[in-house]
Structure 1
Amino acid sequence: MESLRPIVKDLVLLGGGHSHAIVLRQWGMRPLAGVQITLITNLADTPYSGMLPSHVAGLYDFDQAHIDLRPLTRFAQARLFMDRVIGLDLERRRVICAHHPPVAYDVLSIDTGSTPAMVAVPGAADHAVPAKPVPQLLQAWARVRQQLEASPERPLTIAVVGGGIGGVELTLNMQARLQRRLKELGRPQDQVTFHLFHRRAELAPERSRATRHYLQRLCLRRRIQLHLQQTVAAVETIGGPLPYRVRCESGLTVACDRIFWVTQAAAPDWVRQSGLANDSQGFIAVADTLQSRSHPNVFAAGDVATMVNHPRPKAGVFAVRQGKPLSLNLRRHLQGQPLQPFRPQRQFLTLIDTGRGTAIASRGPFVAESCLFRYWKDHIDQKFMALFRDFPEMGASRPSDVVVRSASSPPPMYCAGCGSKVGRPALEQVLQRIQADVSWPVDTADILVGLTAAEDAAVVRVPHDRAMVHTADGFRALLADPFICGQIAVHHSLSDLFAMGATPQSVLALATVPYALPAQQTEILYQLLSGVQKALSQSHTPLVGGHTSEGPELVLSIVANGLAQPQRLLRKQGMAPGEVLILTKPLGTGVLFAADMRRQAKGRWIEAAVAVMVQSNQAAAQCLIQHQATACTDVTGFGFMGHLLELVQASQVGAVLTLNQLPALQGARQVLAQGVRSSLHPQNQTAAQAIENGADYIDHPDWPLLFDPQTSGGLLAAVPPDQVESCLATLHQAGYAHSLVVGRVIPRDNPTQPIRIEEWGRSEE
């Protein structure tokens, strides 16, 4: 039997920019055995700069203009950590994140982009909208369009600060979209006015003289108010219908509805403070190999980096061109091979979209505008974006290189039984680190022997007036991020206790971590148990012990113990006719992650699902108890219908389900409509036999949602009708925004088919 290759090196990619997107695509085509790739980014959808202006103009929708990093990382077999980088620990080789524990690396690559230089201008950071981060720009742009729709008769004034190529193209496309909409509404197009401020004498100083003059003439033809040689001194708020004012050093002032800031690029603060060698502007200084001039195991590309021997403008075209050489040199560095220098071209083609069906082609002294250039630009952009949507089905047959040999060669075979345990040094190091990270109060009065004692088992005292409630749950990792997986597993398991009205007392964690060298294994286990501790901190529950083992993939099981007053236990039995059924979380985790495995789920859908899955059910349970819930269960693997059937059978009642009131996660209905199903769905669907009129609804689009298995799902409970309004209001206030009434309890007239379906407003009684 061929032995499984262990993880021997960690390659961490910071930022999902154009260069890293190409790196991930290339490594998906040709993996490097033994290398674990981790992408850390705060954006699941990374905007493609070539299509962004056209997206602003309404010529491309969101998905056409953005690279979805989740299916891309799936294809590359990379881990995706959704977080914001705030610093580097270069000595210990760790990335400092805003919300994750420090992430260890052997080789680091940085492609996080730049930010507009605006901090020095008073009021700009508070009142202007920077071009980056792009989501913030698009949100502000959506508000401008909403303002136009709400008051189409009111004149609109927009200011853009920055007359480089980016500022000019953004202005042209914004104007084109607003004027097109005004025409559709039957309003004069001159009702919207654009002011473009630039401190230089000519627009686009980085381009040729012919291009500069052409853009200036075009702006004048389009009646864009140009303010050249005007340095913005302040951005102010004023009273009246126009809320903002741009004030220049010359004394010129312009009142406007919105200000967009598209000035010269600046390096993020954390890059300046990282300790990496920087250029005079704070960008990472890299050699021709894209390798840091000060730290050989750190690479950088895109706007965040400056090639000291070949400085070029901060433009997306260079980030795209750096993708392949960056991928090659990362691979060569990991294999101990000589790196290859990269020399960017001096002359490059720029295609500027005007927003009106034409594009301006500029290269060297040549400049011209044509609709043919727009078709050409569209062809180039669509071809590039297809790389990140259309992946070859390569499966296990993908070719891979032999990774650089590690200092400690892995054994040819991995043992089973107790030989598969994680080694003592790695485990002790992890336990020391996670205990040092605990910053929340833990009630240890009942913990006689816990995690700090080197005993064979934990010992917990049971108070004489309490009943002990036990539960266990576990599953393979849904995500490649062990920190998030640890949180989900804990919340999933503790929900069993909350559903019964119990308070968690202690937890055991049973973890299987992938085969790896001790250093890599330590970091995976640390990330996993840090997630466990983060989730436990919400209920102040101590982790008292557990077990670790090695295996081909990450698996986590949680054994939880809770305490409850025997006479106040919430059970599945207890519902009575007339009561109302409330569900606290939306459905759809099963089908979304089934789609994710097939690379058919959008990254933003998965991130929205994760946000719900890491939400504890503790406050929801307390709310339900407060509002006199008579029965409760958590909705998990058996799906909504399976768990509703358990309640109905235990209580010897019937239920009417309002099918089109079921809350669903974003994207769940879309992938269900595509025929995607969880592997457990067919077994769960056997519960349909208990639905009296199920045959009438089998073609309803929400029918499959009834049988979708849930991970860390919500609570399903019955409450008296006079408590419903207050209960829902309290749930919403506590953060359970999707809580809804999904049905009601009725007498049990049909013991074999106690459940009936109706649609809202279409009662069948």
Structure 2
Amino acid sequence: MIEREVVLAGSGAAHLAALRHLAMRPLPPRIRLTFLVPEPEQPYSGMVPGVMAGRIRRDAARVDLAALARAAGARLVLGQAVGLDPAARLLRLAGERPPLRYDLLSLAIGAEPALVPGAAEHALPLKPLGRFLDVWVALVADPPQDLLVVGGGAAGVEVALAARARLGSGPRIALLAPTGPLPRLAAGARRAAIRALAAARIETLVGEAVAVEPQHLHLAGGRTLPFGVALWAAGAVAPAWLAETGLDLAEGGWLAADATLRSTGDPAVFAAGDAGAVLPHPRPRNGVYAVRQGVPLAENLRRVLAGKAPRPFRPQRWHLSLLLAGERAIAAKGPFGIAGRWALRLKDRIDRDWVASFARLPPFMARAMPQPAMRCAGCGAKVPPAVLARVLARLPHSPDTGVPLGLEAPDDAALLAAPAPGRVLVQSVDHFRAPCDDPWVFGRIAASHALGDIAAMGGVPRAALAIAGLPPAAEPVLEADLLAMLAGAQSTLEPAGARLAGGHSGEAAEASLGFAVTGEVAPELALRRSGLRPGEALILTRPLGTGAILAGWMRGFGRGRDWAAALATMQRDPFPASRILLAHGATAAVDVTGFGLLGHLLEMLRASGCSALLDADAVPALDGALAALAAGFASTLHPGNAEACGPHLLDADGIVPERLALLLDPQTAGGLLAGVPARQAAACLAALRAAGEGPTLIGWTIAGPAQIALQPDRSRRRSGPDGKHERPGIDGAGEPLPAAAG
């Protein structure tokens, strides 16, 4: 039973080191640990100049934050902190997400770029690092003739030298610093940096930027500098929202912390890395100090949770700085500084060891959760009425004439208005266990999955009833999780047109959620499984692979970015695709879910009395899905799908095993599979792509019994009129070839 919650907000080095420590020595099961970060992975800042210079592969400089959270047994929440209510112990998040509650909160949110007016619009800030590197790749492909690096600190010097190493001698590169490069560094190291800049033919300019316009930088004193591209590496400031928390702040707006890294204004809040200023031991804002705070932070969180006093942390007086300078590195410590190739080798080893330390962590093994001696069953296992009342009061209630009585005035049942003449009701129900730890994301996925059946029928959703199961927990935890689940569901249901009208909630061994969805459709427009006709194109609106990715992730396999991308795909609204399919004459459709692509296609073929030719190579896969299947990670429903579909497959022996497995992979909130008249196929695909879908023409229907002929050999494709190979059975004009061609 979860009793208390610890939230680590931000992916600063202190939190990375703390989570690595907690992966080795986890918190007790009754404590829930949450890791809040904007992205599932991030570049390591110390290696970004090496990536820019082309010395280091980008993948080798990434820290997989999702995998780190998994190893530490932490719930990963992808979001951005934008505010804090210390009295209510709520961390506010960007967007429509409800706040995260906490018993203990640690902030390692880092600093924000110190931007002048116009810098965000007309220059390229170094942070966020991922976006910076994305744009840098485009700059390398089309180099500017005039590059200006703004900022004379370590970041600015490294970026300027890395740019020269990657772009060569062609562009003019200048470095702008208020008082010259590296004013706070030791004299020897500063001289080495100035020599490196001169050797790289990087012009050093002195001046303070006050505003940026397109291709022009305005300096204090009225001077203007023209530029082609400006990279912004000038200083850092505290996030503005820290000033609104009411907590004690140090100079510069950073959270004031004591020697135990605890906020001086609130014992429930810790501040680490750049977010905090440790008043007894002021130090420069440097990653070395942040890393050293990681283990003491983790241990002090553990001590406070156990009712013990936290221990003070005293950082070292000096730290070693290593700056990339072309084919050498500059080493500085205290008053000493020197450059050399040996320093570059040392920097490479330290950086690579730091990143590699997060890839070597074993997968987290779930521990048994201590349970109370007895928990009631039946209606005695419902969520407490006070919790339910508070959650319903916090959910937004939008007026809807189609639902005269819903959550705004809870009763024994909801009231729905009768459909208009010529329309009929369409209903469906879905329910499943949580595929992720984030209840808000789970709510969105469960809602999208439930809406898929209505979308596949060509219907319009009107109302949904929820059935939610939550494991026993302290009332504040239970309330926060139920609110997040239902708010996440609302954020998907209501934009699609379905109002959350009521439901039921109770205790369960693990989190689960489902919806009974009611919609309406004109009977003559309903897309039924029985509507396929020979000669139609089969269009799949989304890639496959969610089952394999989730199965692998639960067992410690896969990359965090692939897992997060799969979750994002599962949250997509299915109705834009449904409307486009209808507009292009679709005759039948089904949402691809638990029975996999082949299972659901067979359902359509049986109902329609026809056969299909399927290009197995054309079926798209989510990133990471084929790798998971090749490694043997498959959903528990996979064997049942294979047994049910096997007797109805032709030419399956020539299919690569993982690709055949993809066709059987159970999907959660999968896309739509539809039959579209061949003459409409090209236009339908174009419209789906324009709407942001990822559609693919995967095959066609032919006359015959309910079976699927797979096309594994690309050499069997016919040539189109221009001599290029086309999908089997579809000629260059998008028309189906005769059935005999298969």
Q: Do the two structures share a fold, i.e. TM-score over 0.5?
A: yes
**Alignment of structure 1 residues 573-592 onto 2, 5 Å:** 573-592=530-549
SS of alignment partner, residue 702 of structure 1: helix
SS of alignment partner, residue 741 of structure 1: strand
How far apart, CA to CA, are the structure 1 residues paired with 2:439 and 2:580? 31
Cα deviations across residues 589-620 of structure 1 (Å, max 9, x unaligned)? Answer: 11111222123222222232222211111122
Between 661-670 and 208-217, the greater mean CA deviation after superposition: 661-670
Aligned to 2:178: 199
Between 265-274 and 522-531, the greater mean CA deviation after superposition: 265-274
Cα deviations across residues 21-50 of structure 1 (Å, max 9, x unaligned)? Answer: 122222222222211111222122123222
Cα deviations across residues 54-107 of structure 1 (Å, max 9, x unaligned)? Answer: 122222222321211111111222111111222112221111111211111111
**Alignment of structure 1 residues 675-714 onto 2, 5 Å:** 675-686=632-643, 687-699=645-657, 702-714=659-671
Aligned to 1:496: 453
Q: How much does 1:397 deviate?
A: 6.3
SS of alignment partner, residue 45 of structure 2: coil
Aligned to 1:669: 626
Aligned to 1:757: 711
- In structure 2, relative to structure 1, the CA distance for the partners of 1:454 and 1:231 (3 Å cut) is closer
Give yes or no for contact 1:18–1:48 (8 Å, CA) kept in 2. Answer: no
Q: How much does 1:485 deviate?
A: 0.6
Cα deviations across residues 171-197 of structure 1 (Å, max 9, x unaligned)? Answer: 212211222xxxxxxxxxx21222011
The answer on 1:472 being equivalent to 2:449 is no
How far apart, CA to CA, are the structure 2 residues paired with 1:470 and 1:397? 40
Aligned to 2:270: 299
How far apart, CA to CA, are the structure 1 residues paired with 2:52 and 2:671? 38
The answer on 1:40 being equivalent to 2:36 is yes
SS of alignment partner, residue 309 of structure 2: coil
SS of alignment partner, residue 341 of structure 1: coil
SS of alignment partner, residue 58 of structure 2: coil
Cα deviations across residues 359-400 of structure 1 (Å, max 9, x unaligned)? Answer: 2221123322232222222222222222211113562569x9
**Alignment of structure 1 residues 69-468 onto 2, 5 Å:** 69-99=65-95, 100-119=97-116, 122-148=117-143, 156-179=145-168, 190-200=169-179, 202-228=180-206, 230-237=207-214, 244-249=215-220, 253-356=224-327, 358-392=328-362, 395-396=365-366, 411-434=372-395, 437-438=396-397, 440-445=398-403, 447=404, 450-453=406-409, 455-460=411-416, 462-463=418-419, 465-468=422-425
Cα deviations across residues 329-366 of structure 1 (Å, max 9, x unaligned)? Answer: 1111222211111111121111222242x322211233
How far apart, CA to CA, are the structure 1 residues paired with 2:122 and 2:364? 49
How far apart, CA to CA, are the structure 1 residues paired with 2:547 and 2:256? 45
SS of alignment partner, residue 679 of structure 2: helix
What is the one-letter code of the residue matched to 2:550?
F
How far apart, CA to CA, are the structure 2 residues paired with 1:563 and 1:144? 51
Q: How much does 1:533 deviate?
A: 1.4
Give yes or no for contact 2:466–2:514 (8 Å, CA) kept in 1. Answer: yes
Give yes or no for contact 1:442–1:540 (8 Å, CA) kept in 2. Answer: no
What is the one-letter code of the residue matched to 2:238?
A
SS of alignment partner, residue 185 of structure 2: coil
Aligned to 1:571: 528
Give yes or no for contact 1:593–1:601 (8 Å, CA) kept in 2. Answer: no
SS of alignment partner, residue 392 of structure 2: helix
How far apart, CA to CA, are the structure 2 residues paired with 1:492 and 1:539? 12
Aligned to 2:720: none
Q: How much does 1:288 deviate?
A: 1.0
Which of 502, 515, 535 lines up with 1:558 in the alignment?
A: 515
SS of alignment partner, residue 181 of structure 2: coil
Give yes or no for contact 1:641–1:706 (8 Å, CA) kept in 2. Answer: yes
Between 468-477 and 490-499, the greater mean CA deviation after superposition: 468-477
Aligned to 2:60: 64
Q: How much does 1:452 deviate?
A: 4.5
Q: How much does 1:281 deviate?
A: 1.0
Q: How much does 1:253 deviate?
A: 4.5
Aligned to 1:185: none
SS of alignment partner, residue 388 of structure 1: helix
What is the one-letter code of the residue matched to 2:495?
Q
- In structure 2, relative to structure 1, the CA distance for the partners of 1:698 and 1:146 (3 Å cut) is closer
How far apart, CA to CA, are the structure 2 residues paired with 1:167 and 1:698? 50
Q: How much does 1:460 deviate?
A: 4.1
SS of alignment partner, residue 624 of structure 1: helix
How far apart, CA to CA, are the structure 1 residues paired with 2:501 and 2:210? 59
Q: How much does 1:144 deviate?
A: 1.2
Q: How much does 1:479 deviate?
A: 1.1
SS of alignment partner, residue 530 of structure 2: coil
How far apart, CA to CA, are the structure 2 residues paired with 1:451 and 1:273? 33
**Alignment of structure 1 residues 12-23 onto 2, 5 Å:** 12-23=7-18
SS of alignment partner, residue 86 of structure 1: strand
With the length of structure 1 as denominator, give the TM-score of the two structures: 0.89
SS of alignment partner, residue 379 of structure 2: helix
Cα deviations across residues 570-589 of structure 1 (Å, max 9, x unaligned)? Answer: 21112111111111111111
Tell me how many residue pairs correspond in the alignment.
715
Cα deviations across residues 178-219 of structure 1 (Å, max 9, x unaligned)? Answer: 22xxxxxxxxxx21222011111x421222122112211221
Q: How much does 1:503 deviate?
A: 2.5
Cα deviations across residues 507-549 of structure 1 (Å, max 9, x unaligned)? Answer: 2211111221111111111101111211111233222322212
Give yes or no for contact 2:73–2:366 (8 Å, CA) kept in 1. Answer: no
SS of alignment partner, residue 191 of structure 1: coil
SS of alignment partner, residue 246 of structure 1: strand
- In structure 2, relative to structure 1, the CA distance for the partners of 1:332 and 1:731 (3 Å cut) is same
RMSD (CA atoms)? 2.2
Give yes or no for contact 2:140–2:166 (8 Å, CA) kept in 1. Answer: no
Give yes or no for contact 1:587–1:713 (8 Å, CA) kept in 2. Answer: yes
The share of aligned pairs that are identical, in percent, is 40
How far apart, CA to CA, are the structure 2 residues paired with 1:162 and 1:502? 57
Aligned to 1:29: 24
Give yes or no for contact 2:605–2:707 (8 Å, CA) kept in 1. Answer: no
Gaps of 5+ in 1: 1-5, 149-154, 180-189, 238-243, 403-409
SS of alignment partner, residue 621 of structure 2: coil
- In structure 2, relative to structure 1, the CA distance for the partners of 1:397 and 1:624 (3 Å cut) is closer
SS of alignment partner, residue 573 of structure 1: helix
Give yes or no for contact 2:42–2:130 (8 Å, CA) kept in 1. Answer: no
How far apart, CA to CA, are the structure 1 residues paired with 2:247 and 2:561? 33
SS of alignment partner, residue 637 of structure 1: coil
What is the one-letter code of the residue matched to 1:204?
L
How far apart, CA to CA, are the structure 2 residues paired with 1:711 and 1:112? 33
How far apart, CA to CA, are the structure 1 residues paired with 2:349 and 2:566? 34
How far apart, CA to CA, are the structure 1 residues paired with 2:199 and 2:534? 73
SS of alignment partner, residue 63 of structure 1: helix
SS of alignment partner, residue 506 of structure 1: strand
SS of alignment partner, residue 529 of structure 2: coil
Between 340-349 and 42-51, the greater mean CA deviation after superposition: 42-51
What is the one-letter code of the residue matched to 2:585?
Q
SS of alignment partner, residue 270 of structure 1: helix
